[in-house]
């Protein structure tokens, strides 16, 4: 997250004739440069992270005590819905696309993404998608209030007209993701430097390559589902309405056919990031590179066969429950392989603990906790007790916040010197890490307890026995939320070039082509493809 | 790094110690429940939990050992190894075997849960926004079950009592020792009927019927909630089940059948009786607060764009018969449900009168139970 | 950048394929709807009974050794001003035995209504073995204002009904299809 260098002339070597770039607003509006677009994606996602985060704080403020104090239940439902949609589609996914834009060309020795103009498009339609979505707050009845999973018929017959805006913005986000995915695939297939074979690609490139195929496979299905919701609501179709022979459970099958691969879309690039950072600071090559690639591919493949584990309580025949339970448990195997590989990479290394490494280690621990509660959730008979409780909320926030978001933070610290040309403020970054680590656990760990004790999710008010833990959780929520402002400070400082100048390779053990170009990375890199041995 | 390790150990300790320390005041673990199935589910939960804890402890111990010992500041030279086929095969196969070990008890428990055969009685449970309706298929009993917690407690004007949000006006009553089969469906959106102590959670899907069952051995009161987001008052539709000895249950069922029959007879008898406008307004206000206020709000203003307001516009000031029609039949494809089986004719007459005269509507209309009866018989 | 020339052709081939996959997946999303219906029909996944009349096999053996309880339940959806009830609450029969149950319906309004009854069976797997030779639910039921009707439903249980099923419930929900093409958001406003 930084602005790209304004004065690149000092930093660059043989490419003067290329280093001409427009200035001012036009540079950002019309840019086709992968670094500029990556930067915009990252800033956009951080903005959305703050917007979605403030919604989470409103949720936590209402839940601080039993009783209705601050908001109306209907507004509370709007908050949970928009928090989910914004965090998934506005914060986590664009952050990964931003990282892909910045780093994939640098990592494979390409001068830019393969389709730079489409790249510009896929970014610039995103702000409009979210403007449309957020403008629904101004409608009578407010924003969508049916949860980010928009189960029919709550989202069709029983919703307000904001559903139409929700559907349109989902379509735009979907198009943006699909264009981004096409760009990543074409870039990786066609733009690799000579000698960069598939099995030499950094794992971040590999995980993104697989993620992009997942996006191509499931975003169109999401587009189909939201279209069906729209026609059910406005054009008299009966896809999900029993009155006309439809089935509301069909909606859930279609949604989760998209939704479960979507979960992996939000975690696979994290695996790539952590697989880059841990070897760099352990000063030891990644253990089991090939098995990492196969594990990623098998997780992606299995993700198409597990969707109904979100739906055990909808009333499935036993054979279906068993099938989805077994398949879901099976995912633990490749995921376990990854965790074991990371731990073994650390084993007998020579570790140092700079901020990116701290976040990566926290990722491994907390993601594993989220993964283990995932195994518990896979067991159908006990899932009847966990389903739709705070136990589930705790589980997916462990994998998405202390998983995906922590990995994005790790990536930001790891590559910030390359992006900005200066080292980040070490003290502030450590403060950010420790504040985040402690508060994220105060926030999400106790949620397991209230969930097990029987508190359903998505409720604005609760029975008295859940009061103490909810108070603790809310305190953790505010601490975590405000800790992220430290991150903002660190990034702004680096973007303003306040800090030690960074060398081309600021991390002793780092590997990869991105460290062969100067810091900050010049506007144009690898015009002459490097030779990879 | 010492800090991290200690905090982790403390965290783990807290995880196991706190449930014991606060076991009676603060519930931190899944309920064991009161049925054979719920005990099995609890045991399965604990089994899987401990397996996960052991895996976690092993993996994190290795990692933290490495973090403590293999650090550059201790002057170590990094090793160079980067794969080992034997190790990699081992940590693919061993987790797989652990999973198989978990899958076996999981499968047997699931097969038991899904076996609805040989049931002794059936109860049809219908969810609607935001109350449950219970209908005993083997008896002449059906009724609505509404949240009993007063609004004043929710909005902090009265102190909250022990069963805040987990209390209803008419609980479901079932006999102990009998296999009770629940048929679960919905009238509008998807709800989910959940009683943790039975380990029963099943979605109520509109237009489809789902099945679950329980056999409770201990008489008692068991509380649960709707578990699927179902709109504005999702948090306010609890489930309360009372399990009674079979004799007590039979006695209850007979008296309940009698009560419902009496109510119908009473209704017939009172049809001819005119109530004064004041009586109607008073009763109507109560009915409005219990049944209408969740959507139309206590002040009748509704929620713009979601639930229509009743003040100075719409059904409450236009045609009287249309107003009765909406309350009696509901409105298809909207959140407005039918109250013909929920409220008595007197109550419907009262609430219609109230809504037509409260909040400055002042239509002056007085609706009597006989008008509702005439409407229901098609004489409009 | 002379080596980019061949790559650009490569690009368009990859892009075409990817775009085609996007289109295929979009279509696949919609294809899942009939696939799901077919799947449910074959497995009894969602508990719907067949919407086509079955013909009882004359050589079918009545299984005297088993007695199955079939419960009937009826409901009307919101806004349908009808009375709708079965003549019996439940009946007991042997698999293979053909029985008829009458359902009574009365339109209590002064408007004509077209309704459709949709069946749901619990347990869902039993829906595969509940065969109707005649049913009002195969078609729409138009009912004039104030009209009453008796609607028969003739069925038998397939003797292959799994052994562990002793009791099954057939529920009918009556839906108003009079104005089925009307856009449904407008209804919230119209209820005012």
- Where chain B has pLDDT below 50, the residues are 1-3, 16-24
- Touching C: A residues 104-123, CB under 8 Å: 111, 114-115
Q: Do B190 and A154 contact (CB within 8 A), yes or no?
A: yes
- Chain C partners (3+ C-beta pairs within 8 A): A, B
pLDDT in tens, A27-70: 888 899 999 999 999 999 999 999 999 999 999 999 999 999 99
So which residues of A are the catalytic ones?
Answer: 83, 112, 148, 176-177, 260, 262, 264, 275, 309-310, 335, 338, 457
- Smallest CA–CA distance, residue B372 to chain A, in Å, is 28
pLDDT in tens, A72-95: 999 999 999 999 999 999 999 999
Q: How many CA atoms lie within 13 A of B358 on its CB side?
A: 24
Give the residue, A328 or C115, on which the prediction is more confident.
A328
- Residue C118, chain B, CB below 8 Å: the answer is yes
Q: Do B198 and B33 contact (CB within 8 A), yes or no?
A: yes
pLDDT in tens, A92-133: 999 999 999 999 999 999 999 999 999 999 999 999 999 999
CA distance B290 to B356: 17
- Chain A partners (3+ C-beta pairs within 8 A): B, C
B180-186 and B238-244 as β-strands: parallel, antiparallel, unpaired?
unpaired
- Residue C181, chain B, CB below 8 Å: the answer is no
- Residue A70, chain C, CB below 8 Å: the answer is no
Looking at residue B11, its pLDDT comes to 54
CA distance A240 to A229: 8
Question: What would the CATH number be for the domain defined by A24-516?
Answer: 1.20.210.10
- Smallest CA–CA distance, residue B358 to chain C, in Å, is 16
B116: tokens are 């609805």
Nearest CA in chain C to B340: C81
Which of C19, C32, C43 is facing A254, going by the closest CB pair? C32
Spatial CA neighbour of C66 closest among C180, C192, C159, C140 = C159
The CATH H-level superfamily of C68-176 is: Ctag/Cox11 (2.60.370.10)
| Fold adopted by B121-265 | Immunoglobulin-like (2.60.40)
Instruction: For residues A211-224, give the mean pLDDT.
Output: 96
- Smallest CA–CA distance, residue A428 to chain B, in Å, is 18
Backbone angles phi, psi at A302, to 5 degrees: -65, -25
Percentage of chain A surpassing pLDDT 70?
96
CB-CB neighbors (< 8 A) of C121 in chain B: 209
Looking at residue C28, its pLDDT comes to 93
pLDDT in tens, A465-494: 999 999 999 999 999 999 999 999 999 999
Among C9, C44, C45, most A C-beta atoms within 10 A, so best to mutate, is C45
Which of B91, B153, B233 is facing A337, going by the closest CB pair? B91
Looking at residue C9, its pLDDT comes to 56
CA distance A122 to A317: 42
The pLDDT-based confidence of C187 (bands split at 50, 70, 90) is very low
CB-CB neighbors (< 8 A) of B81 in chain A: 287, 348
Looking at residue A98, its pLDDT comes to 96
Q: Do residue B203 and residue A313 have CB atoms under 8 angstroms apart?
A: yes
- Chain B partners (3+ C-beta pairs within 8 A): A, C
Q: Do residue C192 and residue B185 have CB atoms under 8 angstroms apart?
A: no
Backbone angles phi, psi at A449, to 5 degrees: -65, -50
CA distance A496 to A271: 30
Give the residue, A22 or A381, on which the prediction is more confident.
A381
CA distance C143 to A254: 36
- Residue C70, chain B, CB below 8 Å: the answer is no
Q: Do residue B205 and residue A314 have CB atoms under 8 angstroms apart?
A: yes
Q: Do residue B59 and residue A285 have CB atoms under 8 angstroms apart?
A: no
Which of A189, A224, A234 is facing C29, going by the closest CB pair? A224
Looking at residue B267, its pLDDT comes to 80
| Fold adopted by B274-376 | Cytochrome Bc1 Complex; Chain D, domain 2 (1.10.760)
- Residue A182, chain C, CB below 8 Å: the answer is yes
What H or E segment, with its residue span, contains residue B240? strand B238-244
**Residue A498 neighbours by CB distance under 10 Å:** 12
Domain-wise residue ranges, chain A: 24-516
- Smallest CA–CA distance, residue C67 to chain A, in Å, is 23
Average pLDDT, chain A: 92
Q: Do residue A69 and residue B156 have CB atoms under 8 angstroms apart?
A: yes
The full DSSP string for A197-213 is -GGGS-HHHHHHHHHHH
The CA-CA-CA angle for residues B206, B209, B213, to 5°, reads 130
Nearest CA in chain B to C173: B207
pLDDT in tens, C98-148: 888 999 888 877 777 788 888 888 888 888 888 888 888 887 878 887 888
Question: What would the CATH number be for the domain defined by B31-113?
Answer: 1.10.287.90
The pLDDT-based confidence of C7 (bands split at 50, 70, 90) is low
Nearest CA in chain C to A162: C185
pLDDT in tens, A434-458: 999 999 999 999 999 999 999 999 9
- Residue B301, chain C, CB below 8 Å: the answer is no
Q: Do residue A247 and residue C36 have CB atoms under 8 angstroms apart?
A: yes
Q: Do B175 and B244 contact (CB within 8 A), yes or no?
A: yes
Residue with tokens 């290329």: A18
Nearest CA in chain C to A315: C46
Domain-wise residue ranges, chain B: 31-113, 121-265, 274-376
Q: Do residue C118 and residue A245 have CB atoms under 8 angstroms apart?
A: yes
Looking at residue B8, its pLDDT comes to 52
Residue with tokens 């070897």: A279
- Smallest CA–CA distance, residue A116 to chain B, in Å, is 37
**Residue B87 neighbours by CB distance under 10 Å:** 15
Looking at residue A19, its pLDDT comes to 55
Identify whether A53 is preceded by a cis peptide bond (ω within 30 of 0). no
Q: Do residue B201 and residue A387 have CB atoms under 8 angstroms apart?
A: yes
CA distance A505 to A497: 17
Q: Do residue C40 and residue A527 have CB atoms under 8 angstroms apart?
A: no
Domain-wise residue ranges, chain C: 1-43, 68-176
Q: Do residue C191 and residue B124 have CB atoms under 8 angstroms apart?
A: no
The pLDDT-based confidence of C192 (bands split at 50, 70, 90) is very low
Helix axis angle for B36-69 and B85-113, nearest 10°, is: 160
Which of A181, A224, A253 is facing C26, going by the closest CB pair? A224
Beta-carbon contacts below 8 Å between B and C: 109
Which of C14, C124, C184 is facing A186, going by the closest CB pair? C14
Among A167, A243, A311, A527, most C C-beta atoms within 10 A, so best to mutate, is A243
- Smallest CA–CA distance, residue C29 to chain A, in Å, is 5
Spatial CA neighbour of A524 closest among A50, A39, A8, A1 = A8
A309: tokens are 């584990």
């Amino acid at each position: 997250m930084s602005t790209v260098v304004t004065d690149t002339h000092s930093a660059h070597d043989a490419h003067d004739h290329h280093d001409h770039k427009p200035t001012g607003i036009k540079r950002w509006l019309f840019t086709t440069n992968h670094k500029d677009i990556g930067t915009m994606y990252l800033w956009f996602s951080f903005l959305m992270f703050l917007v979605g985060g403030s919604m989470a704080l409103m949720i936590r403020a209402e839940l601080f005590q039993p009783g209705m104090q601050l908001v109306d239940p209907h507004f509370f439902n709007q908050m949970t819905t928009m928090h989910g949609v914004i965090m998934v589609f506005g914060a986590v996914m664009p952050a990964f696309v931003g990282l892909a834009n910045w780093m994939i060309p640098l990592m494979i020795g390409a001068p830019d993404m393969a389709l730079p103009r489409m790249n510009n498009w896929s970014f610039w339609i995103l702000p409009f998608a979210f403007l449309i979505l957020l403008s629904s707050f101004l409608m009578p009845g407010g924003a969508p209030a049916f949860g980010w999973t928009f189960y029919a018929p709550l989202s069709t017959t029983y919703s307000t007209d904001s559903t139409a805006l929700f559907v349109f913005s989902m379509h735009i986000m979907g198009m943006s993701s699909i264009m981004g995915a096409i760009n990543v695939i074409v870039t990786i297939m066609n733009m690799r430097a000579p000698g960069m074979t598939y099995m030499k690609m950094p794992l971040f490139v590999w995980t993104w390559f697989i993620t992009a195929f997942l996006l191509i496979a499931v975003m169109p299905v999401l587009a189909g589902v939201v279209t069906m919701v729209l026609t059910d609501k406005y054009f008299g179709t009966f896809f999900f309405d029993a009155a006309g022979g439809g089935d509301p459970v069909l909606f859930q099958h279609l949604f989760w056919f998209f939704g479960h691969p979507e979960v992996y879309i939000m975690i696979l690039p994290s695996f790539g990031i952590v697989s880059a950072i841990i070897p760099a600071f352990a000063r030891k090559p990644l253990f089991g590179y090939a098995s990492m690639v196969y594990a990623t591919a098998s997780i992606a493949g299995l993700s198409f066969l597990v969707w109904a584990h979100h739906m055990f309580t909808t009333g499935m025949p036993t054979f279906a429950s068993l099938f989805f339970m077994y398949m879901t448990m099976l995912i633990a195997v490749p995921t376990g392989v990854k965790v074991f590989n990371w731990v073994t990479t650390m084993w007998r290394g020579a570790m140092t603990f700079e901020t990116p490494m701290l976040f990566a280690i926290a990722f491994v621990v907390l993601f594993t906790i989220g993964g283990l509660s995932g195994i518990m959730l896979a067991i159908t008979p006990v899932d009847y007790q966990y389903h739709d409780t705070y136990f589930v909320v705790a589980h997916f926030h462990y994998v998405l916040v202390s998983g995906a978001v922590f990995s994005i933070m790790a990536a930001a610290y790891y590559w910030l010197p390359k992006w900005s040309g200066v080292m980040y403020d070490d003290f502030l970054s450590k403060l950010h890490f420790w504040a985040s680590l402690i508060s994220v656990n105060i926030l999400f760990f106790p949620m397991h307890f209230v969930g097990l004790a029987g508190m359903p999710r998505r409720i604005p008010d609760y029975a008295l026995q859940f009061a103490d833990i909810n108070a603790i959780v809310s305190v953790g929520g505010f601490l975590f939320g405000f800790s992220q402002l430290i991150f903002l400070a660190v990034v702004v400082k680096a973007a303003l070039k306040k800090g030690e100048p960074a060398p081309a390779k600021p991390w002793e053990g780092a590997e990869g082509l991105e460290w062969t170009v100067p810091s900050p990375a010049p506007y144009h890199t690898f015009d002459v493809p490097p030779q990879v041995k | 790094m010492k800090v991290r390790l200690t905090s982790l150990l403390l965290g783990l300790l807290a995880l196991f110690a706190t449930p014991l320390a606060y076991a009676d005041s603060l519930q931190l673990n899944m309920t064991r429940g009161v049925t054979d199935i719920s005990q099995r589910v609890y045991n399965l939960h604990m089994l899987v939990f401990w397996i996960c804890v052991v895996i976690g402890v092993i993996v994190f111990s290795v990692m933290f050992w490495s973090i403590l010992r293999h650090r550059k500041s201790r002057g170590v030279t990094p090793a160079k190894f980067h794969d080992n086929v034997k190790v990699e095969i081992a940590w693919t196969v061993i987790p797989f075997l652990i999973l198989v070990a978990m899958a076996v008890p999981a499968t047997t428990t699931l097969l038991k849960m899904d076996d609805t055969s040989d049931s002794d009685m059936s109860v049809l449970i219908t969810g609607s926004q935001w109350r449950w309706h219970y209908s005993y298929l083997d008896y002449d009993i059906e009724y609505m079950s509404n949240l009993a917690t007063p609004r004043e407690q929710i909005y902090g004007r009265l102190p909250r009592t022990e069963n805040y949000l987990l209390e209803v006006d008419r609980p479901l009553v079932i006999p102990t020792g009998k296999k009770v089969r629940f048929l679960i469906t919905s009238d509008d959106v998807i709800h989910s009927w959940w009683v943790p102590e039975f380990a029963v959670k099943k979605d109520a899907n509109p237009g489809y019927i789902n099945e679950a069952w329980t056999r409770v051995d201990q008489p008692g009161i068991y509380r649960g909630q709707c578990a699927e987001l179902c709109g504005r008052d999702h948090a306010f539709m609890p489930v309360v089940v009372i399990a009674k000895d079979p004799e007590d249950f039979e006695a209850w069922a007979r008296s309940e059948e009698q009560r419902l029959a009496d109510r119908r007879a009473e209704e017939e008898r009172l049809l001819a009786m005119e109530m004064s406008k004041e009586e109607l307004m008073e009763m109507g206000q109560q009915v409005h607060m219990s049944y209408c206020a969740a959507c139309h709000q206590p002040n009748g203003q509704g929620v713009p764009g979601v639930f229509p307001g009743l003040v100075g516009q719409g059904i409450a000031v236009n045609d009287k018969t249309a107003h009765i029609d909406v309350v009696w039949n509901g409105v298809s494809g909207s959140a407005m449900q039918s109250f013909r089986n929920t409220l008595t004719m007197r109550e419907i007459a009262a609430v219609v009168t109230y809504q037509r005269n409260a909040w400055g509507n002042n239509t002056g209309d007085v609706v009597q139970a006989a008008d509702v009866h005439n409407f229901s018989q098609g004489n409009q | 950048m002379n080596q980019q020339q061949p790559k650009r052709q490569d690009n368009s081939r990859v892009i075409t394929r990817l775009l085609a996959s996007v289109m295929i997946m979009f279509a696949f999303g919609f294809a899942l709807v009939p696939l799901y219906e077919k799947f449910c029909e074959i497995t009894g996944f969602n508990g719907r009974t067949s919407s086509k009349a079955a013909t009882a096999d004359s050589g079918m053996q009545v299984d005297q050794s088993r007695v199955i309880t079939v419960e009937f339940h009826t409901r009307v959806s919101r806004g349908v001003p009808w009375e709708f009830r079965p003549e019996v609450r439940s009946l007991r029969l042997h698999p293979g035995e053909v029985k008829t149950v009458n359902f009574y319906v009365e339109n209590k309004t002064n408007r004509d209504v077209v309704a459709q009854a949709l069946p749901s069976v619990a347990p869902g797997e039993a829906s595969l073995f509940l065969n109707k030779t005649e049913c009002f639910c195969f078609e729409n039921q138009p009912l004039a204002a104030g009209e009453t009707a008796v609607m028969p439903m003739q069925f038998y249980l397939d003797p292959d009904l799994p052994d562990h099923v002793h009791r099954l419930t057939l529920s009918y929900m009556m839906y108003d299809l009079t104005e089925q093409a009307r856009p449904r958001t407008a209804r919230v406003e119209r209820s005012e």
